[in-house]
Amino acid sequence: MALLQISEPGMSAAPHQHKLAIGIDLGTTNSLVATVRSGMSTVLQDQHGHALLPSIVHYGEAQQVIVGHEAKVKQNADPVNTIASVKRLMGRSLKDIVDKAHIPYRFVSPPSDDASQGMVLLDTRAGLKSPVEISAEILKTLKNRAQAALGGELTGAVITVPAYFDDAQRQATKDAARLAGLHVLRLLNEPTAAAVAYGLDNAAEGVYVIYDLGGGTFDVSILHLSKGIFEVLATNGDSALGGDDFDHRIYCWILDQIRDANPSKQPLSEKDTRLLLTKARQAKEWLTENEEAQITCKLSSAYTVDVTLTAAAFVELTENLVRKTLSPMRKAMRDASLDLTDIKGVVLVGGATRMPHVRQAVQDFFQQAPLTNLDPDKVVAIGAAIQANVLAGNRSGDDLLLLDVTPLSLGLETMGGLVEKVIPRNSTLPVARAQDFTTFKDGQTAMSIHVLQGERDLVSACRSLARFELRGIPPMAAGAARIRVTFQVDADGLLSVSAREETKGVEASISVKPSYGLNEDAIIDMLKSSFSEAESDKKARALAEAKVDAMGIISAIHIALEQDGHLLNAVEKEAISKHIKALETALAGEQSRAIHDATAALNTATEAFAAKRMDESVSRALAGKNIDEVNL
């Protein structure tokens, strides 16, 4: 009699082969871990029944590290050593952090040779800590929770990140996971994870918008869902906008009330700042279901705060923050070439979407009620767990295909300070593109490769990612060498670039790990300026290209005159010299048409010289040979 093994659909037929994989939502305010058990995705709870882990780390006495709910209790009493919202500091330098006075931490800029490459450090009781180290403590706690619940070692984890996290922030997240002892199966964009959860659990098909307003970041993604295929059509967002900013507006409002009543009051202490931020968050959450919130507390200065914030006043205070989420939605719709009638549904993700005026703004924009039947706090972790289950090999990937996109164009610098785009924005990931380039000068044996990110045509208007050099190029005439530059972006959105000289085979490459210090508004500004400055960029590119061509021609003629100037008489040399000077004068100006005209005139003036050089070259080749030796 044969023994049959029974398994869940899509699961391994051998239970002992089931690999333990988890999905982690590493959030600004709260973090979660989820897994797939018996074919169903579920969020794992701690021993007290909590699913949400507050993303807070406390450094206590005797090197004690406390994470989560216990750390949250320490916030008001010891704000300097209790770090919250660390996600907003990932991949950021000291100069990138605004409102440092209202954040109760002791920030330190690392030395220039520090391995964190400029990422801000926090001075705590346990010493200097980077956001990577602090995030690693949160991930370690989630890892331990998962291993305790699943009863074994983990194969790996899918960790979610905001779609608009740049390379530095993504790399910082992977570094934190490595410190926590986690094998990262993939970094998954948070909106895509939410779509996975909705697409599988609700069998949704069509074009959906994922509106993700978390504690520290905002993302909007437009996806096409069809039979398990999740294609990201466009993405946009703001990596420095989230629920924390709504808290901060209430905090500033409370400060105004204090100053009105006590104009001579001294600056608040770190404890007072943290206490008021905590009260502001509590008021925001209370106003989700109530018309007014009473804010009362006693500060260390012995002043007692006792104010009332109405829901209407809160809406007025934060109206422009809600409006800031509408612009990225418009841009994403335009990038995807869609109208409102094309949108089948809008999915809300993130705890901040519980605010009534946020939901109303989304409903008014898309002219339909958003979907809220999955917990906005848990939907990202659920989607990550489903993807982790596939990547671990517990389920066939044939029925789940994720097609994410890169948010900004990638390219490199060419002569004249111009950017040649190799991978355009909204390209499906993973992606690899190659393009051939050549040398500018005769005998050039090295090339500097400058990798850039952005939408503008000028290097000065884009973000520098990395630089490296390709050496050992065989000396050839300008334009003869063929350098193939290949860009590869993996499924995590991380970039590597390689350059190869095709004749000799010399190669150079770099995995792009840019400086962690990128301005929070840089990505939004890049997209904004790419539209507003399109015409000026076009003119600047035309001017730069004209100058590069002109300089190349002048250089080539000077070399020709040195080699074969004897073929010309004085009058002919003087004529060419006049045209060269005219072109050099045009180059000093900013008119591309004048440069083009002067270049054309110089080309015409040197046509006879070029013919004489050709005749001389043929004569030298035939010298000393009889007619029978010439191969016609």
How many angstroms separate the CA atoms of 117 and 100, rounded? Answer: 20
Rounded average pLDDT over 258-277? 77
Instruction: Give the single-character DSSP code of 183.
Output: -
Q: Which residue has the tokens 């000028």?
A: 458
Mean of per-residue pLDDT scores for the chain = 81
Nearest to 343 by CA among 484, 210, 520, 153: 210
219 touches 191 (CB < 8 A)? yes
Helix (H, G, I), strand (E, B) or coil at 243: helix
Q: What average pLDDT score do residues 32-47 get?
A: 90
Decide the pairing of beta strands 431-437 and 229-238: unpaired
Alpha carbon distance 334, 181 (integer Å) = 41
Which residue stretches of 131-189 are H helix? Answer: 131-150, 167-179
Q: pLDDT at residue 407 above 80?
A: no
Residue 397 pLDDT more than 60?
A: no
| Architecture of the domain whose range is 535-622 | Up-down Bundle (1.20)
The Cα 194–Cα 385 span in angstroms is: 11
- Top-confidence residue, 311 or 428: 311
Which amino acid appears at position 553 of this protein?
A: I
Over residues 149-201, the pLDDT tens digits come to 998 889 999 999 987 787 778 888 988 898 888 999 989 888 888 888 877 55
Q: How far apart are CA 485 and CA 145, in angstroms?
A: 45
Domain boundaries, the chain: 15-242+319-403, 410-532, 535-622
pLDDT at 11: 44
For 352, the enclosing helix (H) or strand (E) is none
459 touches 488 (CB < 8 A) = no
Confidence of residue 364 (pLDDT cuts 50, 70, 90): very high
CB within 8 A of 237, min separation 6: which ones?
162, 163, 164, 212, 217, 218, 219, 220, 328, 407
pLDDT at residue 384, rounded to an integer? 93
What are φ and ψ of residue 491, in 5° steps?
-65, -20
The architecture of the domain spanning 15-242+319-403 is 2-Layer Sandwich (3.30)
CB 347 within 8 A of CB 195: yes
Active site residues: 25, 87, 190, 212
Most confident range, picked from 234-238, 361-365, 451-455, 467-471: 361-365
**Considering the entire predicted model, what is its pTM?**
0.62
Q: Class of 410-532 per CATH?
A: mainly beta
User: What single letter denotes the amino acid at residue 591?
Assistant: Q
What does the pLDDT average to over 541-561?
79
Q: What are phi and psi of 539, to 5 degrees?
A: -65, -40
Average pLDDT (479-495) is 80
- Range list of β-strands (E), 417-520: 418-423, 431-437, 446-453, 463-471, 483-489, 495-501, 507-511
Q: Is the pLDDT of residue 240 over 50?
A: yes
| Segment 553-573 mean pLDDT | 83
The pLDDT assigned to 484 comes to 86
User: Any residues with CB less than 8 A from the CB of 423 and at least 6 apart, and which?
Assistant: 406, 409, 410, 411, 431, 433, 487, 489
- DSSP letters along 495-551, please? EEEEEEETTT--EEEEE----S---TTHHHHHHHHHHHTHHHHHHHHHHHHHHHHHH
